[in-house]
Each structure stands twice: as C-alpha cells, then as structure tokens.
Amino acid sequence: MEKKPGFVSARPQRIFQLHTTHTPSFLGLHQNVGLWNASNSGKGVIIGILDTGIAPQHPSFNDNGMPNPPLKWKGKCEFNVTTYCNKKLIGARNYVQPDRFPLDLAGHGTHSSSTAAGNFVDGANFFGNANGTAVGIAPRAHVAMYKVCFAIFCLEYKILAGLDAAIEDGVDVISLSLGFGHSRSPLYNDTIAIGAYSAMEKGIFVSCSAGNDGPGSGTVQNGAPWILTVGASTTDRKIRAVAVLGNGAEYEGESAFQPTNFSRKLLPLVNGKYCDLLHSIDVKGKIVLCDTKRGLYREQIARTVKSAGGAGMILMNNKEGGSTTLAVYDVFSMTQVSYKDGQEIIHYMKSTSTPVAMITFKGTKIGDKHAPTVAYFSSRGLFVKSQGILKPDIIGPGVNILAAWPTPIEGETISASSSSSSTFNILSGTSMSCPHLAGVAALLKSAHPDWSPAAIKSAIMTTADLVNLGKNLIQDETLEPADLLTIGSGHVNPSRANDPGLIYDIQPEDYIPYLCGLNYTDDQVSSIVNKKIHCKSRIPQSELNYPSFSIPKESSAQTYTRTVTKVGEAISAYTVKVSGLKGVEVTVNPKILKFTVLNQKASYNVTVKTLDLTGHSQGYIVWSSDRYSVRSPIHVFPHISVI
C-alpha cells in the first residue's frame, strides 16, 4: 500500500465511543442584547455535527426566522422527504449505512445538535421539570449532521469520512462528542487529531469532548493543541428530591421522577449496600439506601429495589462520584445524594436501632451557588501525549442538560395521575459540554468572521471564569477548589470572550515545529499535516504560542516566548502580574506591552526557575489594561514518562 500514489499512513481500525432550556441564560446569553445581539445569534455560521444522526422533524430544527444558508454551502441532504431539511438543518449525511437516511436511533446526535444550535421551542420540559423555552447556544446558526456513529460505537474510517465531507461541504465549526478513551498513542495515530488538523488548516474551528474517564489524572483525550478540549460542569439548576431522616436532617439530591403521591410518612430505612442482591434483606415497604458501584447502572439498581418491594431508594455516590448528582427519570421514587451526605446518612443509621426516612420531591430550583462545579466524570490532565500543552482547555455545562430527543419518552408527569411523553431528554457527559462550546465558537465566528480558529480559542480561554455564583473559586466534585488539570483555563464566559483585548494566534504552519519537537519522524509529522514534511525546525512543546502554559520541571531556568495580537481598543498599555506558583520563580519581560493600532503584535518572555518544587505548582499570568484582563494559567509539573 505504501507504494500506491496518495498513500499517507495506515493503522489498525479502532472503535470510538460517544462521550436546553436554561444553559444559554446561565451563560449570560439573552435575546436582543450582549453577544446574541452582537453575533446575530450565530447568523451565517454552519456547525457540522459528527454523531449518531438527527431527528429532522423535531421542533428544535424548525427554520422560523432562519436566513438562507451561505452561498459557499456545498453539502447534501440525504433524506428523501424534501421538507426534512430546511434553512436550519441544511445538510444530513449517513456514513454508517450509506443506503439509509441519517435518522438518529440513539438520541445522542439530536441532543448535541439542538444544544449547539437548536431553534426556539416554547414549553419544553422533561415530564414537567425544567420547564421553559428550549434553545441552542447559537440559535441562528445552521446545522449539518454527519452520521458517523451507530448507537454508542463509531468506526474510525467513518469518522474520517465525515470530517472530510464536513470540510469539503463548507462548515465553519465542527462539534465532535466522541473519542477513543485515554489512549496513550501519539498524535500521528489519533484519527480525530489528524482530521481536526485538516479542518483547522481550512479555518474551521473544532470543539471536542475531553472524555468521561474522570476524576483520575491523565485521562483527558482529544487534546491536540489545534482542538478545543472541553470538560463538563454543572449548572445552577437542580431537580430536587430531598431525603428526610428521622432525626430531622435533610439531604438534597436529584431525580427527574417527581411523583406527588409518594408517602409523606417516615418509613423504615435499611442499608442494601450495592443493592445488586437483596434476597437476604427485607426491603418491602421500606426506603433502601444503596451505594453506587462501577458496572451497575442506576436504572439496574432501581429496578432491583423496586422488584424486591422497596418503597423508595436513596442512592448515595461512592467517593469517586463526590457531589455530582444526576437528574435521571427513574423507574420509581428515589433520590441520588452526594458521597458526603451518604456517609452522614450511614452515620445516622448506626446511631439508632429504628432508622426511618422519607423522600420529598420539590421540583426544579434555579440558583445553586456552588455552580458551576466540575463533574466527577470529566476527564483530567495531564495530556499524556503532549504534556507541554495544558488540557482540558475549558469547562462548560455538561450535567443534566435538557435538549431535543428523537422519539417520545413515555412516563408519568409530575402529577403522577396521567401518562405523558417528552420529546426532550436530560443527559450528562462531556458530550453535552462539547456542543455548548461549538455554539459559543459559532457566535464568535459570526461576530468576528476574520478570526482564526486559534484566535477564537484564545478568546474563550483567556476570558474564562474562575469563580462560581457564590463568588468562591470553582470547585471539583469534592467541593474543593479545582486545579488547572481539572478546569484548564476555567469556565466559559461567552460575553467576555467576544471582547478579549488580546489574543494568542497560531497559524497552521506554526504547529509543524511543535510536532517535530515531539521527536516525531518526518513521515509521522507528514501523516498529521497531510503533506510531505522535513523537520528542519523544532521547538519545545511549551514554546507553542498557546493561551496557557504547561511547563515540565527542569534543573535549570527555562525561558518561553509568547506573542499577543491586539484586538480591542487600539491605543492601550497592558501591565503584567503573576500569581500563585509555590516553589517556582517566574519572571516576565517586558512588564508592560504598549499598542497603538489594531492587530499590532507584541512578544514577551516567561522565565521559569524551580526552587523547592516537589509536586505540581499552578498560577496565572495576567495582562491588564484599564478595560481588559487577559489571563493565562501556568502549570509547572514533574515530567511523567510515557511507556
């Protein structure tokens, strides 16, 4: 095969896995003002979604108020019903079964598409919960679906085919909520990295999910520096189900099943532990405390308790799950509570011979001051394939996200008196956070059509939030301040990203010395950039003009250069401040950057000298003017060998 014309590289095929009514307002997006107004809500931008297909007749894909697609659009609609594609859904192709329509049989693709760019749908809810107007992040952007996954499985060559088609068709943004796990194979063996490079080279922004393998370290995937790698966080909306104990203590959990006819009396409380085998425990008519266990799904546990005659269930997180609770539509009355609350419930049960409890269902509540909190499942850095690039880049809403669903979900309404169905569903995962950021990128692309993918990425990263609604540092699932390997640059703030002041730009050719610096061979670099390369210039990973710093600890001082471009007020001066970084001495030179015209560039050097550093150290380099604050996280770490 290597002797065939056009051959680049070959590798064994692998199988990849798939990784709302409130999130736009949670992110500060409102009609006719701010970023939605400045960007015309994403008008003229095309978002390509690579996923499980789409439900074209869902109301989220109506084309009310939509303009015609741009003249550059060259895509196809592979539905034989002419009304299925319209000014909103302008393209749909099937690479899984080319002889069939690209219908969504799994739901994932419909959900992610509507999250990124769904049109306004009034009265959306999930069995009466989370009621409101559903809308995507970029409601005036166009959607093009490329079906590359069947159920939860995505074949490698089909992903590449979908990426090639999206590039050729003329999309502006690509959203990829899938990955191959936290594989340690290099970038030249990474299908998504290779396809995303081709997209970036054509000026297309690529947003990818960071993976759902957290909270373990070194689990982040889709971390190539030309990709925006997105972790998952909570929003301030909870669908509350409160566990009330006999001693009066109350523990707020979540469940999307909200019956009104559940017993309001205290019932006996028993510990079923993992609740996989309940033969030896009498649970009939009782509240059962269950522990989560890897390999056993929440629904399985609930069915086991229900079939054994349990009246209700309190599902407590294991230590790994921490404070992350999910608003799932359960098969019967239950609540999921945090690990800490679960331990307190166990302590209560040990303190009395007759423990009792009840569950009260309190519906939707907005205003959780802990939000955003990082979800336990959100994958963490270091990015083992290239430790000199800090990943993930950003976090965004990915827990309990309400969005479109291809088929009606049957169940009970919150009145519990009649049967109903919902064409919206609540899902959690970095698969949900990724299309949020694709939508944000579409807004920025519409507002700044001349910005490169790297410029958009820089704007998102350097303006991110570090504090939650309670004005405290953003926390992880343990409710401790989240580190840089968990949140990257922080939580996305779309409005601030629209006017960042300075950007760190990177041109496609700038990645070649970086790739050569990874000690890849000429052929390996060539397979990524899809052209013949001879590595004449090599730079350390940390030298890439990235909006964040990830620097390996060395015995001697190291100096790295960054170049910023002025995109805000023309005449301005920025002064630098360094914070954090225990055990590390950081010097920035010069300490003032002056600008007189737009698009003017200025460079600065960062010298890092480790003093008594034994583990990781983190902090920030912030350039500030009268109007702007441009923040870059900096992480110094002991080098980890990759086998």
Q: Which residues are catalytic?
A: 51, 108, 431
Structure tokens at 616: 């990781």
User: How far, in Å, CA of 357 to CA of 245, rounded?
Assistant: 4
Residues forming beta bridges with residue 291, ordered by sequence position: 316
Q: Nearest Cα to 123, choosing from 432, 424, 428?
A: 424
Residue 13: how many other CB atoms lie within 10 Å = 10
Go through 260-287 and write b for each residue having 16 or more CB atoms within 10 A of its CB, e for each that does not. Answer: eebeeeebbbbbbeebeebeebebeebb
User: How far, in Å, CA of 27 to CA of 405, rounded?
Assistant: 22
User: How far, in Å, CA of 597 to CA of 504, rounded?
Assistant: 17
Q: Nearest Cα to 468, choosing from 484, 479, 457?
A: 479
User: How far, in Å, CA of 469 to CA of 368, rounded?
Assistant: 8
Q: Nearest Cα to 605, choosing from 562, 542, 556?
A: 562
Do 603 and 594 touch, CB atoms closer than 8 A?
A: no
Do 476 and 373 touch, CB atoms closer than 8 A?
A: yes
Task: Enter the DSSP assignment of 639.
Answer: -
Do 424 and 125 touch, CB atoms closer than 8 A?
A: yes
3-state secondary structure of 529: helix
Q: Give Cα 195 to chain centroid, integer Å.
A: 19
Structure tokens at 225: 């520096």
Residue ranges of E strands in 367-517: 394-397, 401-412, 419-427, 502-503
User: How far, in Å, CA of 506 to CA of 509, rounded?
Assistant: 8
Angle between helices 453-462 and 430-447 in degrees, nearest 10: 110
DSSP string computed for 256-299: S---SSS--S-EEEEEEET-S--TTS--BTSEEEEE-BTTB-HH
DSSP string computed for 485-545: HHHTT-B--HHHHTS-SEE----GGGHHHHHHHTT--HHHHHHHHTS---------GGGS-
Structure tokens at 478: 């343990």
Q: Nearest Cα to 173, choosing from 205, 210, 151, 136?
A: 205
Structure tokens at 192: 């998504």
Structure tokens at 256: 């999307």
Q: Nearest Cα to 150, choosing from 13, 77, 51?
A: 51
Residue 449's identity, in one-letter code, is P
Do 541 and 387 touch, CB atoms closer than 8 A?
A: yes
Task: Enter the DSSP assignment of 374.
Answer: B
Q: Nearest Cα to 324, choosing from 393, 371, 358?
A: 371
Structure tokens at 244: 């009330």
3-state secondary structure of 41: helix
User: How far, in Å, CA of 636 to CA of 621, rounded?
Assistant: 13
